[in-house]
A and B are shown apart, each in its own frame.
Chain A
Amino acid sequence: MGLVLLVVIWLITFVSTYFFIAKTWWLPTGASAAAAGIDHHFATTYLVMGIVFVAAQVSLGYFAWKYRERPSAPPARYVHGNNMLEIVWTVLTAILFIGLNLMSSSIWASERFRPAEPGATQVEVTGMQFQWYFRYPGRDGRFGATKPELIDASAGGESALGLDTTDPASKDDVVTGTMVVPVNREVELILRAQDVIHSFFIPNMRFKQDAVPGLAIHMHFTPITIGDYEVTCAELCGLGHYKMHGMLKVVSQEEFDKWLAAREAEKQ
């Protein structure tokens, strides 16, 4: 029985670890400036915790077998513990855990403690059941006013956001269902939600932030690879949660300018 326990615990440990090491399923390809740092810290944490995981499971299985009761086994040791050992492993774990945490704090700070750089591409993201809308301020660099009483969800586009067309600033606002941004330039997001909480999640950008009704949350990220990336909703928002998706297109600066100009021309 002890041997079976050892074999089963060891097998579970090694098979689980194999799939982590082989990266059979891993974080999706990173495409933002922050991705490399986050992935690197993920790998570091993985290595450290992986060692702890294997060491603990291997000793558990080994002890269960080695100290099993059998006629030839010596009597159990009469020990109540060892204060020195308790202090050693308390201090070591504390250093390890807090150390890991401090290592990653600079990434968090650069993601969340500073505002977006001036000159960042501004996009307002609005979540509603079960659709993401994206709004660009246009040439004037200002978002026009929106009014809840003007919201007409079935009409889509500007009406879905309740854009007040009498506001001069709203004249050149562009509202789309696909998010397009230029590569290698910081994107400033203003996240809003109309009805319930949604969460704007772009796995490839290592970006996630809840969009909360009543709040306008300012965030930023910098895409560094041209391509199409799927956008999902990561906060349970109702029956269509699983199909609340969108698309982020990262394009060159020229292509972006051309695209935005064409959208504005459509409005006139």
Chain B
Amino acid sequence: MAGGTGGGETIMATREFAAHEAHAHAAPQGFIRKWVFSLDHKVIGLQYYFLALTAVFVGMFLSLLMRIHLIWPNIHLPLLGDIKPETYLTLVTMHGTIMVFFVLTTAPQGGFGNYFLPIQIGAADMAFPVLNMLSFWVTALAFIVMLGAFFVTGGAPLHGWTGYPPLSAVPTAGPGEGPGADMWVISIALFCLGALMSALNFITTTLDMRAKGMSMMRMPLTCWAWFITAILGLLAFGVLFSAGILLLLDRNAGTSFYVPLTVFSGQMVAHKGGSPLLWQHLFWFFGHPEVYIAILPAMGLCSQLVSVFSRKPIFGYKAMVYAMLSIGLLGFMVWGHHMFMSGMSPYSAFAFSIMTMAIGVPSAIKTFNWLGTLWGGRIRLASPMLFAIGFVSLFVSGGISGPFLAQPTLDIPLHDTAFVTGHFHLIMGVASIFGIFAATYYWFPKMFGRMMNESLARWHFWLTFVGTYCIFMPMHYAGMAGQPRRYSQFTELHYLEKLIPLNTFITFAAFVTISAQLIFIFNLFWSMKAGKKASDNPWEATTLEWTTATPPPHDNFGGHTPVVYNGPYEYSVPGAPRDYVMQTDPATVAAH
């Protein structure tokens, strides 16, 4: 249990009740204990990070194939052969599922959250280290099962990441809806289990393990974001898990939760009386909070970086906390805006619409506060800050199309068009990916003891920033012109043919942007080996992770427990000897 010294004794029992001094488990010695089945939150964080890194390259590769197929449908690719229309839908499905679950949910929370939440609150580890290890390995297993779907008879499913039944419930509905679809559902159910265990761990850790003086209102906004994200995860993944089990039963046990009497090419299927809308309600009850699960950690991180690199306290700390809390709360009341065209009652559409517009308010507050922090600052444009500013820009651009889609009236022409694809990629996809990049450049020195190469980081930023705009902004135009989502060809409808040049442009932009990610990968691995040695606090930041050694020792603070005296954003304090006051500096900042 506790590596070389633990023997047979379980330390879980004490762990649940004791103060965190009792938490320390000795550093493990063997490779397996240290790097594979590790209990150390830092190693588990890295495991999540590299799982997400693998997943993002798989997902990106799938999207590249999609873009190629859209423009050159008859191309014969070496090794992969032809892409057929059904293959295209398989790519759509697997790209979406892998990106949403194994990248956007995994890296910001499982990766950076695991690594830095305990350190930033002054704890030696997460509250439940064994549970933490288990959540990672269940998530990794889920990923393997998901990839396995490609290799079973019929291949991976084509029902989209939203998996609407009856398409996802009836094996004869299309190629890939046989064993591939079962693997897809099982993978998601496993992922939910991992996410639930992880959510419990994050919540308990935040509430119970904070160092002396680290009151909730002294926590860095990153910790608030991880905490709120964990609460959302706890409430949302349970629902998706149940929904997935019902879908598995419909597929394999002859139940009819989601499938009414249906006829596929003249053949009646053995279902009766189910409701396809039930799945949509359950799915989006998870699915909308999921958007915030993906973006909240990036919001927290962006707040952190904007303050650190502007050398200025965050503007409106409390407003930021309340905004995130209200986003979390309102996030559970807006799922119906995905269903305005679904056949749901038009009266409830009206209610969901008002709630959705309301959730735009805290999002706007956050943007104003980021701008307020930049204003009057002394901004250091290092690579983490470039990505943080990029995040704000993308968040605004992706957010601005929200009020269009939130109004059922405007959703009539826009629903299920490329406008939606552009909207959610900017705000949920690329913006949170920018959060992941910013976090990588910011925390890399702490994690690996070396700096990443700054010139390569800048090239990576410029190409990715401009590139993603070139990919996703034109999708809004295509969507307004009526281009439906998930179409593998634009040749069947006359009015779509004039949109082919626009789509060709998007494909070329995707080539450039995806290639630019190789710069990042090179920089990441090259800097681990050959980067400039990092000091303990290279960015001159105030939070606890910068008070400890680089990389942090096994118990995070080398045998002592930090005591916190200040808030997390004390920059440019008048009269202070430096332009930053560490959270652990004894009482140098007057209460305010």
Contacts and interface: CB of A to CB of B under 8 A. Distances in A.
A188 B409 CA distance: 19
A45 B407 contact: yes
A57 interface: yes
Contacts of B361: 90, 93-94, 97
Nearest to A19: B477
B378 interface: yes
A212 B343 contact: yes
A69 B534 CA distance: 22
Interface in A64-101: 64, 67-69, 73-82, 85-86, 89-90, 93-94, 97-98, 100-101
Given A25-B499, A57-B397, A234-B416, A94 B493 contact: no
Contacts of B369: 81, 86
B382 to A, nearest CB: 9
Contact of A76 (B312, B393, B415): B312
Contact of A214 (B276, B318, B401, B493): B276
Given A27-B480, A28-B481, A108-B349, A210 B379 contact: no
B264 A212 contact: no
B217 to A, nearest CB: 12
Contacts of B569: 80
Interface in B146-202: 158-160, 164, 166-167, 170, 173-175
A63 interface: yes
6 contacts: A90-B365, A93-B365, A108-B409, A153-B265, A230-B494, A238-B86
Contact of B263 (A77, A81, A151): A151
Contacts of B480: 25-27
Interface stretch (B22-30, B44-52, B101-109, B465-473): B465-473
Size class of the contact patch on chain B: 35 or more
Contacts of B487: 241-242
Interface in B545-592: 569, 571-574, 579, 592
B82 to A, nearest CB: 14
A140 interface: no
Nearest to B169: A196
Given A25-B499, A108-B408, A98 B343 contact: no
B173 A238 contact: yes
A73 B572 CA distance: 13
A239 B86 contact: yes
Contacts of A45: 403-404, 407, 410
A80 B343 contact: no
Contact of A208 (B415, B462, B469): B415
Given A67-B310, A97-B357, A104-B409, A73 B378 contact: yes
B368 interface: yes
A259 interface: no
B495 A60 contact: no
Interface residues of A, number: 100
Contacts of B314: 80-81
Nearest to A73: B378
B144 to A, nearest CB: 26
A98 B354 contact: yes
B42 interface: no
A212 B170 CA distance: 15
A214 B375 contact: no
B413 A206 contact: yes
Given A56-B396, A93-B361, 10 more contacts: A8-B466, A28-B495, A53-B400, A82-B372, A113-B347, A153-B265, A197-B167, A206-B412, A210-B342, A214-B276
A89 B364 contact: yes
A108 to B, nearest CB: 5
Contacts of A154: 265-266
Given A9-B393, A101-B357, A154-B266, A245 B493 contact: yes
B85 interface: yes
A26 B316 CA distance: 39
Contacts of A214: 260-262, 273-276
Contacts of B409: 38, 41, 104-105, 107-108, 111
A236 interface: yes
B41 interface: no
Most chain-A Cβ atoms within 10 A of its Cβ — which of B274, B376, B397, B482?
B482
Contacts of B316: 80-82, 85-86
Nearest to B268: A148
A268 interface: no
B481 A27 contact: yes
Interface in A141-178: 148-149, 151-154, 162
B381 A101 contact: no
A212 B400 contact: no
Interface string B77-91: 000000011100100
Contact of B416 (A86, A100, A235): A235
Nearest to A89: B368
Contacts of B386: 5
Most chain-A Cβ atoms within 10 A of its Cβ — which of B261, B266, B311, B408?
B266
B166 A197 contact: yes
Interface string B301-321: 000000000111111111100
B358 interface: yes
B341 A239 contact: no
B372 A239 contact: no
B493 A101 contact: no
A254 B354 CA distance: 44
A75 B579 contact: yes
B378 A239 contact: no
Most chain-A Cβ atoms within 10 A of its Cβ — which of B166, B310, B343?
B343
B219 to A, nearest CB: 16
B417 A234 contact: yes
Contacts of A74: 378
Contact of B492 (A8, A19, A206, A242): A242
A199 interface: yes
A202 to B, nearest CB: 9
A104 B349 CA distance: 13
B174 A238 contact: yes
A233 interface: yes
Nearest to A200: B341
Interface in A26-54: 26-28, 38, 41-42, 45-46, 49-50, 52-53
A83 to B, nearest CB: 8
B393 A152 contact: no
A57 B393 contact: yes
Contacts of A81: 313-319, 369, 372
B270 interface: no
B213 interface: no
A196 B274 CA distance: 12
A230 B380 contact: no
